[in-house]
Structure 1
Amino acid sequence: MKQTKIFLLLILLLAAVLRIYRIDTLPQLNPDEAALGYNAYSLLKTGKDEHGISYPLHFRSFGDYKPGGYVYLAMPFIKILGLTPLAVRLPNLIFSVLTIFVIYKLVFLLTFNFQLSTLTAFILAVSPWHIHFSRGAWESSTALFFVILGIYLFYSYIINHKSRFFFFSCLSFVASLYVYHSARIVAPFICLFLLVTNFQFLLSHFKKIILPTLFAAAVAVPVLVSFLNSGGAARFGGVGLTADYGPVARSEELLNHHGNTLLSNRITHNRRVLYLMSWAQKYVSHFDLNFLFLKGDEVPRSKSPDIGQLHLIELPLLIIGIVFLLKDKNTKRLSHLSLALLFISPLASSLTFQAPSALRALPMVLPLAIFTGAGLYSLIETTKSFKPHNLFVITVLYIYSIFYFADAYFVHAPQRYPYAWNTGFSSLMPFIDSQKTKYDNIYFTSTYDQPYILYLFFTRYPPQKIQSQIQLTPPDKYGFSTVTMIDNLHFGKINWDSIPPKSLVIAGDEEIKAVPMASLVLPGGTIGFRVYEK
């Protein structure tokens, strides 16, 4: 028991080191993080967000209506540390490490197996997928903590029969709804699974659970009403499956092939059927081995180069673990839960036009860690006569895999994906602010998304001033808006001929044909920005 606690502490220490190393500078702060941090800063200073709304449940931001949970979690850190990337990221860092502790507690609660619990915690601690989304203000990772905490507390109630566990389980699931959009799909399905698989027990304890259930439902209502009324539903329409007009065009193309409009043809090539097929393809894509073990997400901001979401050496362990958990009678409850989580987790991601998404499907990391941990446990247990040799080989392979990931993440990603990681903004924005009084106008390229919020963040722009002048552009087809002007600073596409004299211009590398006065070189030697004077 004492040895297990030492191992667990070492695992948590390793997890913390992998997640906190250079977290203030790597990766560079992205616009979503800046929006979360600046709105928390604005609330601290004025009691209102950047748009002048008092303590909203959803933050309009640049039209994506972010759930407010993370903003409020970040407020005490920003109060103490100031408006810095570290302060914005610390809440998620803490909750991400706690997720590893809770998965250990959950597996042990359902199996009473210290080894299996410890190995599962280790797998999650060194998971490239989980590490990536722990090192930033990613609401998905914070919401994941509340989801797994809700699961753990629910089973604690089932096993220990103490009502407080059920009450806090309900609150934990509701908390996840306040933190991230995808949790509003994943969490209810998980709750439905828990209800169905424990229906008889819950029915026999109906009087004990009815009040906590009603209370949790009442707490959940405000965030759901706010989402629908604030424009969040319209935002979902911009990123949802129906935002992809491909199935509609394909339906029309197939009908044209027939040259008639017979009812049978319209049924066969109905766009709703094609949307259903599109959803199925996106759902299944989350189980693609290329996505999981070789290439990872296609979005550079959500991946490291030349590596999958999981370590490649975990593929055989994953297969062994699935077989082991399904066959072992002592892990029946854990295996059922893990399978349910595995199939539920991609639901939110598959309902968007951009899939597979490592960000939206992050809950998959939980069942995959459990299965892989079970595979590692089974491999060690079934080859006990070779146990020292197995441990040595496995240790060497994991050390190599961890270093391979660290090399990809810390060295190559900043050079391969400097634009996706918003490299250069932290130094460029204060420079621009220092030049505002020297020029009549400053023009900044809109080549990179939402530069205005990065300007507000890195200059600690007074919230009172932005609240009085902020104006969002009309939403684009994805539901996003932006700000094109703050004081004498203009954000947009650079048109050199229309820019008046006494202006400073910051453009992309080849955006305009003129002689620059300075250039910002990004890691890897590429030119990020060029500075011009007119």
Structure 2
Amino acid sequence: MDRLSKIILAGILILAFGVRFFGIAKSPPSLNWDEAALGYNAYSILKTGRDEFGKKLPLSLRSFDDYKPAVYSYVAVPFIKAFGLNEISVRLPSVIAGTVIVLLAYLFAKEFFKKEQAALISSFLVAAEPWSVHFSRVAFESNLALMFFLTGIYLFLKSRKYILPGFFLILSALTYHSEKILVFPLAVLSFIFDPGSLSRFASSSIFSHYPASLDLIKALITRYFSYFSPVNLFVRGTPEPTQHIPNFGMFYPLEFLLLVVGLYFLIQNFRKHKILFFLLVVSPVPAIATWNWFYPARVLPLFFFLSLIIAYGLYRILNKYTAVPVLVILISGVLNLLTSLYFFLPYQERGNWQYGMREMAQALTKYQDSHQRVVIETKTAQPYIFLLFYTQYDPQKYQEYSKDILSPRNSFNFDKYEFRDIYWDKDKDLKNTLFIGPESSLPVTPVYEVKDFEGNVLYRVAETK
């Protein structure tokens, strides 16, 4: 790697970090409930060594009875220690992981293609592609798991040893559920280097004795190929509102052409690139057994390896033809992405996030001390976690309440806080109570109103003496 390449790569990494870090407290416009849960549990572990339910140094977090892997929370602990409990400290591990993934794109492309230019193009595309930018700006366990997963694969490809790569692969499996499934097919990598092991596997495979039903096979195949659909990847994206940047697919539309070019040249030398193709085809496996039709968070490795092929297609075009039109369109796409990210997402898409919960918690903090009871009405799911997060509620104190919470949870109430619908005709007779809810539930002169940037009332704060 010459000096110029080092400078270019450093510039790409700085760009990648900047795009991922700039404005992360405001775009996306608020934490979602999973981010708040990961952050508060990290805060609880920092303060008490236990999660919100009092479990000591857990490997998984009960949270919303979905038992999230705890690794992201552990990684967030030093950031919360340094910067406090806020959006930046919770999202920063994902920002850093996303930047490291850009470096890994360079390393993988150098390993697969043996071309410096192709490696630099790969790192640039991953730095700027919609899927990578978005998942690096939100506290997604899947993004952190992707960094660990790719590190493990790369170390294995370079050394053919197992201990250090195995450590990172196990860490990825502990970080996100999809990697638990994906790590197992990677044992097949040994078949690539030891073909004789394939026959040993076939003799012991349960599939040779218990074939799946035809309907199941059809369903799995259909779901599998949905993750290779050009419409899903390059145009429409996903119906999951928190898993894409508005108006974008996972990739820029022009990249479909580059993908075709990349595949064309790589398939011509298939044996040389069989590891890349193997990684590509196994990447959607964790997602096909779930009910979601197209759920990007579960297939980030697929997007990464597609990015490498797209980059190789651009590399071949650059070396054979004038690529000015392609570069102009790509740069225009990146600028459009940044516009959507920094201007459209925080405002027009705020309804798809839990916008207003931070402001509601701030209002609650301002008025709650003089009241014995607080009643909160909100349509937001898991509302208690936002109150814990934004008020930095003492974890040790909350653990005294959470130990009595049943599973599955039937109430969010704790301390003096009640989460329920407000019936003003009846509730107005409650003494010394603070109410927070929508205008329709509080037909009374408020002491405060939480509004969005357009002046719309999100929550009204009222009180009884």
TM-score (norm 2): 0.89
Change (3 A) 1:282 1:445: farther
Which of 470, 476, 484 aligns to 2:412? It is: 484
Separation of aligned partners in 1, 2:112 and 2:213: 42
Question: 2:319 pairs with 381, 399, 402, which one?
Answer: 381
Change (3 A) 1:64 1:516: farther
- How many pairs does the alignment contain? 445
Counterpart Cα distance in 2 of 1:506 and 1:113: 60
Supply the distance in 2 between the matched residues of 1:495 and 1:277 (Cα, whole angstroms).
51
What amino acid is aligned across from residue 386 of structure 2 in structure 1? Answer: L
Distance 1:489 1:181 in 2: 33
2:443 pairs with 1:443: no
> How do residues 50-65 of structure 1 correspond to structure 2 at under 5 angstroms?
50-65=52-67
1:412 paired residue number: 344
Match of 2:332 in 1: 400
**Could you tell me the percent identity over the aligned residues?**
31
Q: 1:434 to 1:294 in 2, by over 3 A?
A: same
CA distance in 1, matches of 2:359, 2:107: 43
How far, CA to CA, are the matches of 1:498 and 1:355 in structure 2? 45
Counterpart residue number, 1:351 = 289
Match of residue 209 from structure 2: none
SS of alignment partner, residue 485 of structure 1: coil
Give the match's secondary structure for 1:419: helix
* Amino acid in structure 1 at the alignment position of 2:418: H
State the alpha-carbon separation in 2 of the partners of residues 281 and 405 from structure 1. Answer: 30
1:515/1:340 CA distance change after superposition, 3 Å: farther
| Paired residue type of 2:314 | L
Matches within 5 A, 1:54-453: 54-158=56-160, 163=161, 166-189=162-185, 191-199=186-194, 274=215, 276-328=217-269, 332-333=271-272, 335-383=273-321, 386=322, 390=323, 392-453=324-385
Is structure 2 residue 25 aligned with structure 1 residue 24? yes
Whether 1:528 and 2:463 are equivalent positions in the alignment is: no
Alpha carbons of 1:176 and 1:509: their partners in 2 closer, same or farther (altered >3 Å)?
farther
Residue 380 of structure 1 deviates from its aligned partner by 1.1
Name the CA shift for 1:327/1:509 in 2 (closer, same or farther; >3 Å). farther
Instruction: State the Cα distance separating 1:446 from its structure 2 match.
Output: 4.1
Shift in CA distance, 169/316, structure 1 to aligned 2, threshold 3 Å:
same
Q: Is the Cα–Cα contact under 8 Å of residues 191 and 197 in structure 2 kept in the other structure? A: no
Q: Distance in 2 between matches of 1:193 and 1:113?
A: 27
Q: Which amino acid in structure 2 is aligned with residue 195 of structure 1?
A: S
CA contact (8 A) 2:382 2:412 kept: no
Contact 1:414 1:421 in 2 (8 A): no
Give the conservation status (yes or no) of the 8 Å contact 1:505–1:533: yes
On the 8 A contact 1:447/1:508 being kept in 2, the answer is no
Q: Distance in 1 between matches of 2:197 and 2:335?
A: 47
Please list the CA deviations of residues 94-124 of structure 1 after superposition, one character each: whole Å capped at 9, or x if unmatched. 1211111122112212332111111111111
Contact 2:112 2:276 in 1 (8 A): no
2:359–2:450 Cα contact (<8 Å) kept: no
Instruction: Look up the equivalent residue of 1:21 and give its one-letter code.
Output: F
5+ long unaligned stretches in structure 1: 204-270, 476-480
Q: Where does residue 13 of structure 1 map in the other structure?
A: 14
Structure 2 stretches lacking a partner, 5+ long: 199-211
- 8 Å contact 1:124–1:130 — kept in the other structure? yes
CA distance in 2, matches of 1:447, 1:341: 42
2:141 and 2:175 in contact (8 A); partners too = yes
**Aligned partners of 1:508, 1:276: CA distance in 2, in Å?**
48
Distance 1:140 1:472 in 2: 28
* TM-score normalised according to structure 1 size: 0.78
Shift of the 76–136 alpha-carbon distance from structure 1 to 2, 3 Å rule, reads: same
CA contact (8 A) 1:95 1:142 kept: yes
Cα RMSD, aligned residues only: 2.4
Are the counterparts in 1 of residues 237 and 250 from structure 2 also a CA contact under 8 Å?
yes
Q: By how many angstroms is 1:201 displaced?
A: 10
Aligned partners of 1:39 and 1:50: how far apart in 2? Answer: 6
Give how far 1:307 is off.
1.4
Deviation at 1:133, TM superposition (A): 0.6
CA distance in 1, matches of 2:223, 2:423: 39
When residues 272 and 527 of structure 1 are mapped into structure 2, their CA distance, relative to the original with a 3 A threshold, is farther
